[in-house]
Structure 1
Amino acid sequence: MPVELVIYDCDGTLIDTETVYAEVTLAMCHEVGLTSWTVEDYWSNLVGIPLADGFKIIEKALGRPLPADFEEKAEAGVAARLAGEARALPGVRQAVSRISAARCVASSTTLEPLRHNLTLAGLIDLFDPHVFSASQVPRGKPEPDVFLFAAAQMGVVPERCLVLEDSVPGVLAARAAGMRVAGFVGAAHDKAGMRQHLTGAGAAIVLDGYEEWPRTVAALGA
């Protein structure tokens, strides 16, 4: 079935931001007493889901509520780092521009920071105004809401959508939406392990980089 719409996740898929999120979040977790958490805990538990859901997981691991200003400090810390470090992943612009299908972004990041990060990375012009966030729907990934919302806004049925995702919750959300999905490990902390997890979650194929992306879209839409 032809692909009419390609839906892109953002963090770790278009922009190499997950390392920054991990470093800032882990430092703050350690400050509040969750010293046992490592980068592996971050990648296993928090990647791909809305920030608010991630904080609930941290609170459960910590065994008590987080400080009232935890979210504000986390967002400020990430924003300060990304102001100087946000970069598009190699080959994104060239690959995305070569694909004739419509495109949009559907991310777990709240809308204002999402648009800001895309701007910092020099990618907003590729997608504007078609940038959608889980903050616009009732439930975040792994629920399908943000992908179904994006498809509806773009006027394309789910069966003709293809999603590119770097996280298990994102792949599960795309599959639950009835969409085809490819995995991406170009920015992953553990590429081999993440490849296995994405395939197990239902990704039709897993890519190491954008060089092969236009051919993959054509093949999956054949």
Structure 2
Amino acid sequence: MTAGAMAFDLVIYDCDGTLLDTETLYGEVSLALCREVGLAGWTLGDYRDNLVGIPLADGFKIIEAALGRPLPADFESRIEAGVAARLARELRALPGVREALVQLAGRRCVASSTSLEPLRHNLGLAGLLDLFDPHVFSASQVARGKPSPDVFLFAADEMQAQPRRCLVLEDSVPGVQAARAAGMTVAGFTGAAHDKAQMRERLLAAGAVAVVDRYQDWPGEVARLGAA
């Protein structure tokens, strides 16, 4: 066990873009469907700036505002089906996740904006579910998604941990904001980011106390933060 790893009672992990390399897949599938319904001007950058880190339902409201009309009733199911097909071929855990988490032998859980069933399915596909099961929590289980703190507070309550004794790892600004609003310490992760320098600055500005770019550095960072 890494020295200092138990200074926090619980480490909470976001999933998409933090444990799994999925954000680009969601973006490409979502953009293709957006173009089908008439939102032709959006780019992958628009997707990342507006939708990454928040629940799909909240993202759909942003898309509808840009489109100027409601989305088709089957829009979400088509996104999930398209992503599932891609994930079955392409999903992978980010490099070094398992090794780092095994080294950090403290308590851990997942708290994600992804709905619970696909969340568990994706973790299973990537070979990570056993590291967390049954402690996998979703914004679909609470009233409000990130950047509201609900899912993190729900996870802490389920795990019987005090928020101030929780450390969160997040790759998105809404996720960092949610963890901060929950009264938790939060570190940023840029391992899946396309513009790492820019995302690092955005995560720090949102309230992350540190940013790591690879999982090899995570156990040491947990120890450092726990000793601070």
Match of 1:122 in 2: 127
What residue identity is the alignment partner of 1:113?
P
Tell me which of 175, 182, 198 is aligned to 1:177.
Answer: 182
State whether structure 2 residue 224 is matched by structure 1 residue 219. yes
1:125-144, aligned counterparts within 5 Å?
125-144=130-149
- The 2-side partners of 1:95 and 1:134 are apart by 25
Give, in angstroms, the shift of residue 4 of structure 1: 1.1
1:182 is paired with a residue whose SS is strand
Q: How far apart are residue 189 of structure 1 and its match?
A: 2.2
Question: Which residues of 2 match residues 26-175 of structure 1 at below 5 A?
Answer: 26-175=31-180
Deviations 1:22-63 (A, max 9, x none): 100011111111111001100000000001001110000111
State the alpha-carbon separation in 2 of the partners of residues 167 and 37 from structure 1: 20
Give per-residue Cα distances to partners, 1:105-124, cap 9 Å, x unaligned. 00000000000000000000
The one-character-per-residue Cα deviations of 1:129-168 (angstroms, maximum 9, x if unpaired) are 0000000000000000000000011111001100000000
Moved over 4 A (4+): none
- Aligned match of 1:188 in 190, 193, 213? 193
TM-score normalised by length of structure 2: 0.96
Partner SS state of residue 221, structure 1: helix
What amino acid sits opposite 2:167 in the alignment?
L
* AA partner of residue 139 (structure 1): R
C-alpha distance in structure 1 between counterparts of 2:42 and 2:116, whole Å: 28
Show the counterpart of 1:6.
Answer: 11
The letter for the 2-side match of 1:44 is D
Residue 100 of structure 1 and its aligned partner are, at CA, apart by 2.6
C-alpha distance in structure 1 between counterparts of 2:125 and 2:90, whole Å: 9
How many residues align? The count is 222
Shift of the alpha carbon at 1:69? 1.2
Comparing 67-76 and 175-184, the one that deviates more: 67-76
Identity in percent: 74
